[in-house]
């Protein structure tokens, strides 16, 4: 199978920040939508893009809370968006499309914290897949007119190194046969990668490119904090005093470093002629099919042949369309 997972040699480092990768880039006149752009990696992404001149719309379940979190950041507006609710997704996209604004960048950043017990949405879909993947899939499809109108747009799916451990459970995607929270999370993050891959294949000629991103393991986000201090210590993310361990070379980053690859995917001219790739550390991630265990000192996050499989990406796309039909 051919693939595009060939690092470019961008010159950026694992420790580079979002501001580092934006040096010399002027985003005035650029319209951006960021889901959950008011918290964690999303807020840092919003802050840095806005500082470079972008006009940003943040989609959030609680617009009032989001607006408060974004106080002091110019050029940002907030709209209601609940990714697990198809009507909310449709309404958000309709408001944007009615504004007749082109959309240059869509950053699908929101994710639900992995619940310990099985949670289903109103359609009977597992909550992590429904939110992390399907809600963003619906949003992206609904915003395609605005993305096309930009005549050069990017869709950035914030994935995770967990995609390496993910499996699309074709026969039981919603865990009717038994729930595993980590498996559900990994499935949703693999779905983010496959979505970006197939999006790029379908819409390159329309000048809409797709990217998926591993931001690193960032201490302080909702997802990585779900296990409490004991869980963070077990993952090697905080020391015995509870202080974050920042080690970018091993994938452990702060918010500024974690947001960098998201911003790189959204703006870098180095990606002008390539899409459908999975990124990490401000470059295209290499392909590595070696089975490497996850430990506190080793966080595997490269691409693997099966996670950038075009056949799987097309199959998931078709299945996602059927899910949207109920």
Closest CA to 266 of 118, 1, 100, 56: 56
d(Cα 226, Cα 114) in Å, to the nearest integer?
8
Q: Is 185 a catalytic residue?
A: yes
Catalytic residue among 185, 203, 211, 278: 185
Say if strands 76-80 and 55-60 run parallel, antiparallel, or are unpaired.
parallel
Contacts of 119 (CB under 8 A, 6+ apart): 126, 127
d(Cα 121, Cα 130) in Å, to the nearest integer?
7
d(Cα 280, Cα 302) in Å, to the nearest integer?
8
Contacts of 128 (CB under 8 A, 6+ apart): 111, 112, 114, 115, 184, 185, 187, 188
- Please list the active-site residues: 185
């Amino acid at each position: 199978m051919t693939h595009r997972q060939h690092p470019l040699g961008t010159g950026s480092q694992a420790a580079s920040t979002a501001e580092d990768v934006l040096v010399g880039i002027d985003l005035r006149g650029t319209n951006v939508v960021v889901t959950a752009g008011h918290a964690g990696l999303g807020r840092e992404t919003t802050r840095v893009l806005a500082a470079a001149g972008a006009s940003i719309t943040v989609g959030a379940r609680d617009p009032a809370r989001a607006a408060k979190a974004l106080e002091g950041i110019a050029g940002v507006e907030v709209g209601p968006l609940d990714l697990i609710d198809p009507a909310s997704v449709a309404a958000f996209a309709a408001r944007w499309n009615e504004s007749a604004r082109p959309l240059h960048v869509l950053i699908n950043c929101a994710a639900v914290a992995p619940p310990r017990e099985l949670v289903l949405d109103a359609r009977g879909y597992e909550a992590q897949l429904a939110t992390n993947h399907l809600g963003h899939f619906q949003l992206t499809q609904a915003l395609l007119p605005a993305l096309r109108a930009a005549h050069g747009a990017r869709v950035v799916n914030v994935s995770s190194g967990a995609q390496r451990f993910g499996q699309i459970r074709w026969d039981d995607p919603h865990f009717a046969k038994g729930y595993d929270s980590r498996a559900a999370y990994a499935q949703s993050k693999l779905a983010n990668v496959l979505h970006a891959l197939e999006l790029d294949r379908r819409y390159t000629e329309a000048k809409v490119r797709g990217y998926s991103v591993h931001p690193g393991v960032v201490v302080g986000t909702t997802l990585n904090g779900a296990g409490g201090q004991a869980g963070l210590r077990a993952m090697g993310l905080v020391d015995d005093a509870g202080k974050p361990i920042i080690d970018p070379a091993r994938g452990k980053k702060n918010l500024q470093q974690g947001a960098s690859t998201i911003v790189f995917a959204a703006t870098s001219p180095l990606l002008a002629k390539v899409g459908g790739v999975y990124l990490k550390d401000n470059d295209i991630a290499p392909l590595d099919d070696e089975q490497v265990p996850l430990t506190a000192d080793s966080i595997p996050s490269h691409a693997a042949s099966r996670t950038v499989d075009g056949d799987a990406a097309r199959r998931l796309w078709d299945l996602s369309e059927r899910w949207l039909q109920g």
